[in-house]
């Protein structure tokens, strides 16, 4: 099955700086790649996603880039704010299959 | 729009006891998922329903876990008997059957289980 790995496990950034989290996947048939944000005591919430026919997608301060050849995709957060502090999970799934395989998560800490 | 409702939020039991978790998905969402999230790890799919039928239960430990969605709306996940390694947060999620949102899972807040 799909194996999804995230690096680094913990990332500390100064408020206002950028944060980048990288995710690698193993299944070349995967075509849907979402990022979820999980705050303490809450369930994961989708923040951005990308499909395999697109290389980059932006939504205000967040963006996701996909490199299908290298089988990795990254989450970029610009102008980080304290409310960006959370655990971020990447995931992947195949076409026609909503079964998401999640990575282990990255703890992002934004230092005021 | 109301979110995914789960109960109870917290449960502490002794090993070998049983426990049940309940989930009510977003109205109109045909697909319902149960995920297990062990501390420090990502969610792992246990079972996926489409309406009242099981789509995928390949990672459900069927000797002790069971789940049902009898009327195609709310769902119950049961563990009997519980083991120490079952301590985790059990997340329920739902998604529409078709359209652009079919891949978008909306999660509930989860039910945290501690097995002593």
Q: Residue A14's pLDDT is what?
A: 97
From A61, A62, A108, A79, select the one nearest A16 (Cα to Cα).
A79
| B25–A contact, CB cutoff 8 A | no
Burial call A20-49: b when 16+ CB within 10 Å, e when fewer: ebbbbbeeeebbbbbbbbbeeeebbebbbb
Asked if A100 contacts A2 with a C-beta cutoff of 8 angstroms, the reply is no
pLDDT in tens, A6-30: 977 899 999 999 999 999 999 999 9
> Which of B41, B95, B107 is closest, CB to CB, to A43?
B107
The model's pLDDT over B47-90, given as tens digits with 9 standing for 90+, comes to 999 998 999 999 999 999 999 998 889 999 999 999 999 999 99
Q: Please say whether the beta carbons of B4 and B25 come within 8 A.
A: yes
- Give me the total of CB pairs closer than 8 Å, taking one residue from chain A and one from chain B: 52
**Residues of chain A where predicted confidence (pLDDT) is lower than 50:** none
* B25-53 tens-digit pLDDT: 999 999 999 999 999 899 999 999 999 89
What integer best gives the mean pLDDT of chain B? 94
Name every chain B residue with its beta carbon within 8 A of the beta carbon of A104.
40-42
Contacts of A91 in chain B (CB under 8 A): 42
């Amino acid at each position: 099955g799909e194996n999804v790995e995230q690096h680094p496990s913990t990332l500390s950034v100064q408020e206002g700086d950028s944060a980048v989290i990288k995710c690698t996947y193993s299944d070349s048939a995967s075509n849907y790649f979402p990022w979820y944000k999980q705050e303490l005591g809450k369930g994961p919430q989708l923040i951005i996603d990308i499909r395999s026919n697109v290389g980059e997608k932006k939504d205000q301060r967040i963006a996701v880039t996909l490199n299908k050849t290298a089988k990795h995709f990254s989450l970029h957060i610009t102008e980080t704010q304290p409310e960006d502090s959370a655990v971020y999970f990447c995931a992947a799934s195949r076409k026609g299959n909503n079964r998401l395989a999640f990575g282990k998560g990255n703890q992002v800490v934004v230092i005021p | 729009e109301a979110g995914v409702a789960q109960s109870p939020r917290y449960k502490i039991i002794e090993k070998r006891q049983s426990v049940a978790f309940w989930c009510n998905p977003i109205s109109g969402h045909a697909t319902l998922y149960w995920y297990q999230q062990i501390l420090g790890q990502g969610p792992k799919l246990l079972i996926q329903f489409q309406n009242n039928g099981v789509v995928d239960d390949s990672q459900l430990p069927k000797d002790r876990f069971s789940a049902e969605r009898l009327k195609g709306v709310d769902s119950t996940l049961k563990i009997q008997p519980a083991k120490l390694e079952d301590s985790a947060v059990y997340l329920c999620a739902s998604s529409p059957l078709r359209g652009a949102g079919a891949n978008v899972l909306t999660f509930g807040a989860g039910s945290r289980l501690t097995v002593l």
